[in-house]
Amino acid sequence: MQWEAVIGLEVHVQLATQSKIFSGASTAFGAEANTQACAIDLGLPGVLPVVNEQAVAMAVKFGLAVNSKISTRSVFERKNYFYPDLPKGYQTSQMAEPIVGPGWLDLTLDEQTTKHVRIHHAHLEEDAGKSLHEDFHGMTGIDLNRAGTPLLEIVSEPDMHSAKEAVAYLKAIHAIVTYLGISDGNMAEGSMRCDANVSVRPKGQTTLGTRCEIKNVNSFRFVEKAINYEIQRQIELIEEGGRVIQQTRLYDADLDETRAMRSKEEANDYRYFPCPDLLPVVLDEAYIQHLQAQLPELPSQKQTRFIEMLGLSAYDASVLSASRALADYFEQVYQVCQDAKAAANWVMGELSARLNRDGLEIQDSPVSSTQLGQLIQRILDNTINGKAAKQVFATLWAQEGQSADEIIAAQGLKQVTDTGAIEAIIDEVLAKNTAQVEQYKAAEVDKRGKMMGFFVGQVMKASKGTANPQAVNQLLADKLAALLD
Amino acid sequence: MALTSADVEKVAHLARIQIDASLIPEYTRDLSNILDLVNQMQQVDTSEVEPMAHPLDATQRLRVDEVTESNQRDALLAGAPATEAGLFLVPKVIE
């Protein structure tokens, strides 16, 4: 039986406001427990929540960036449940009238494939506090600093059919919120969290299978692994004659498996009703237009510009536009060297490899975009060859030189293009290796190419890598041909 | 609309309200009466009426995003039955 997975994601994004969604308490991460919780966050009697304008503006910006209809009227409701880190006994959220209506995103999966994913809606709500389960004499500790931090919950349609598509969607959301500056998108610190709804069905069937919701997946890699595990689990379960039960499952990264959370029958009985403390939020068109005008160039627009104006491939353009920091770096390199393809190759190749190896973000690169741009300039104007360029890059990376020019001069890497000088080196090499020359002359024509490589290597070595490889090849071929006559 | 005593027990549990078992028949009758009244109101044609989210005919004022609260931990923890290391302590929560 051929199976098809159906995946929808709920992404919670912490909005980068200074203060909370309904109070003037700080949202800064990492403060001492309960020092940033106030009477409103705790829901003490007599308090009145007031909506933070920035949280509204950020939600609207997101909506505009994903082609959504913005609701000029949205309503906060109470989602009722009891949990110790939810001090009010309800979460103030939105349900029937969310601020961001239906929208969509197009994802670039690879050179040929784009994927259209619809967004059902996005709504504003407040975050809960944190439960600390370390042993406090058999009790649980509660830190309410996070309670009331604004969240934007982005709900996709079940349009994705593989873990790869789900991760591409999540990365696209991450790129958009960080481009917009509405969240730092830090998954490790919980600024962006993802729940995945996964079901499977026989290929061709149109009705949906029973879904499970996977919670607690906090990195792109774990989202992919958790979804793959869950798809496989459901397929095996059905093929063995069982059936999937709708439930919430937790992903355990250590064991790489999902397991059922203890579920109560009334778990989903939230008894939403409009919050009497908050009036409907009404936005006028002028306000929305004003925010529209503030939007920066978005990842998809940048990608299109990279393809159409700079001639990059769709894949290169999508990789380079995935993060604003990477895109900015690339563009600065391009500004200096004026060759988009070369800039893209260096940023995605040598630079990214080094960053990965050392576990660094682009912002922390020891080689600045100007330094890399200047290095590429020296390759393009034939001052150095590719091999020397890697040496210059390594020196810049180790911060043992200020600029490509300085390192080229200090290490004597300037490429020798002078024909006379290269010929002299070739003559020297041929004179030193008479045995190989004789073998070359005696060899079959189709073997000579490989033997030629030996001489090229020796010449490059004798020039300490500075000879222009094209010139060496050409001159050497001429010399050897002359010997055969 | 007739509620059952099981409905009343479920609602009480969801709201974490402890009720005296002997009073369940009375609550069941009272709550059923309220629902009957709602059902009666449902018969009014409201197709031309916009759903009301709030009785006040006003819209939400928005707040400027700035930090106006200071650390009030000691005062807030003072009302809690158990605290430690700046945390509220509650009966152990097990997932």
- List, for residues A89-104, the tens digit of each pLDDT value: 999 999 999 999 999 9
Question: With contacts defined as CB-CB under 8 Å, which chain A residues touch B71?
Answer: 35-36
Whether A369 shows a pLDDT value over 90: the answer reads yes
Structure confidence at residue B52 (pLDDT): 81
Cβ under 8 Å to B: A residues 30-49 = 32-39, 42
Residues A272 and A301 in one domain: no
Tell me the H-state helices in A128-244: 163-180, 220-239
Nearest of A47, A183, A20 to residue B65 by alpha carbon: A20
Whether A15 shows a pLDDT value over 90: the answer reads yes
Query: Domain range holding A380?
Result: 297-411
Q: Among the three residues A382, A411, A440, which one is the final residue of a domain in this structure?
A: A411
So what's the architecture of B5-42 in CATH? Orthogonal Bundle (1.10)
Cβ under 8 Å to B: A residues 71-130 = 75, 80, 82-84, 97
Residues A308 and A349 in one domain: yes
**Residue to test with chain A: of B14, B52, B60, B77, most A Cβ within 10 A:** B60
Q: Are strands A212-217 and A247-252 parallel, antiparallel or unpaired?
A: parallel
| C-alpha distance across the termini of chain B, in Å | 37
Residues A374 and A240 in one domain: no
Residues A336 and A376 in one domain: yes
Question: With contacts defined as CB-CB under 8 Å, which chain B residues touch A75?
Answer: 53
Structure confidence at residue A263 (pLDDT): 58
pLDDT classification of A227: cutoffs 50, 70, 90: very high
**Residue to test with chain A: of B88, B93, B95, most A Cβ within 10 A:** B88
Residues A117 and A233 in one domain: yes
Residues A74 and A165 in one domain: yes
CA distance A143 to A32: 9
* Extended beta strands in chain B, E state: 62-63, 83-84, 87-91
Average pLDDT, rounded, for chain A: 92
Q: Among the three residues A258, A288, A318, which one is the final residue of a domain in this structure?
A: A288
Strand partners of residue A59: none
What single string gives the DSSP state of each residue in A327-389? HHHHHHHHHHH--HHHHHHHIIIIIHHHHHHHT--GGG-SS-HHHHHHHHHHHHTTSS-HHHH
Name the percent of chain A lying above pLDDT 90: 68
**pLDDT tens over chain B, length 95 residues:** 689 999 999 999 888 899 999 999 999 999 999 999 999 999 999 999 888 878 888 999 999 999 999 999 999 999 899 999 999 999 987 65
* C-beta of residue A456 within 8 angstroms of C-beta of residue A468: no
Q: Among the three residues A411, A435, A461, which one is the final residue of a domain in this structure?
A: A411
Structure confidence at residue A1 (pLDDT): 82
Residue A263 backbone dihedrals phi, psi, to 5 degrees:
-110, 135
Residues A407 and A423 in one domain: no
Residues A344 and A473 in one domain: no
Dihedral angle sign, alpha carbons of residues A309, A312, A315, A316:
negative
Residues A394 and A323 in one domain: yes
Residues A452 and A329 in one domain: no
C-alpha Rg value of chain A to the nearest Å:
30
C-alpha Rg value of chain B to the nearest Å:
22
* C-beta of residue A8 within 8 angstroms of C-beta of residue A160: yes
Q: Which residue has the tokens 């059923």?
A: B32
Structure confidence at residue A466 (pLDDT): 83
pLDDT classification of A262: cutoffs 50, 70, 90: low
Nearest of A173, A233, A172 to residue A198 by alpha carbon: A233
CA distance B77 to B49: 47
Residues A279 and A321 in one domain: no
pLDDT 10s digits, A50-65: 999 999 999 999 999 9
Q: How many domains does chain A have?
A: 3
Residues A178 and A268 in one domain: yes
Residue by residue, what is the 3-state secondary structure of B36-53? HHHHHHHCCCCCCCCCCC
As a 3-state breakdown, chain B gives helix, strand, coil percent values, each rounded to 5, of 40, 10, 50
Average pLDDT over residues A427-437: 87
Of B10, B60, B65, the CB nearest to A54: B65
Structure confidence at residue A265 (pLDDT): 46
